[in-house]
Amino acid sequence: MFSKVDARHEDKSWLSGMRGAPGSGAATTVLVPPKLLGQKPTRVDRGFKVFEGASLEGDVIKRAGADSTYSCMTVCRNTAGCRADTFIAKKGELGNMCTTYGRITKAKTGRNGTYALLRE
């Protein structure tokens, strides 16, 4: 394997992986979108605030299939730069979906079958 990485090349067409160099000073705090301010999370679990019936929008890092909010949390923990997720439980061809975000720009509430997961 490699003992050291001397150079990086960011592939802008790839929706996964590293976004910027480690230790580049990027904020690690997740700001709660105004739509969720003042709302109590449905639960706080495994380092995430879970808002049932809410979805997020922002800078997408990647999308992945997931069978539960717990597996979506795992996707976020294993994705560099992930600050939050939206888990959508839906039936049909696409099935359940997890979307990870590096930056949140907006939240929507009143959405059945969706969960906004914000890292603490």
Task: Go through the domains of the chain in sequence order and give each one's CATH number.
Answer: 47-119 (3.50.4.10)
Q: What pLDDT does residue 40 have?
A: 87
pTM of the predicted structure, to 2 decimals: 0.69
Q: Is the pLDDT of residue 21 over 60?
A: no
| CA nearest neighbour of 31 among 79, 109, 103 | 103
Confidence of residue 14 (pLDDT cuts 50, 70, 90): low
pLDDT digits (tens, 9 = 90+) for 39-91: 888 999 999 999 999 999 999 999 998 889 999 999 999 999 999 999 998 87
The amino acid at residue 21 is A
Q: What pLDDT does residue 74 have?
A: 94
Rg of the chain (C-alpha set): 15
For the chain, what percent of residues have pLDDT higher than 70?
A: 68
Q: Is the pLDDT of residue 117 over 80?
A: yes
Q: Is the pLDDT of residue 22 over 50?
A: no
Query: Using H for helix, E for strand and C for coil, what is the string for 90-112?
Result: CCCCCCCEEEEEEEEEEEEECCC
Q: Is the pLDDT of residue 26 over 80?
A: no
Contact 49, 108 (CB under 8 A): no
Q: What are the backbone dihedrals phi and psi of residue 7, each rounded to the nearest 5 degrees, phi first? A: -145, 155
Within 13 A of 50's CA, how many CA atoms are on the CB side?
17
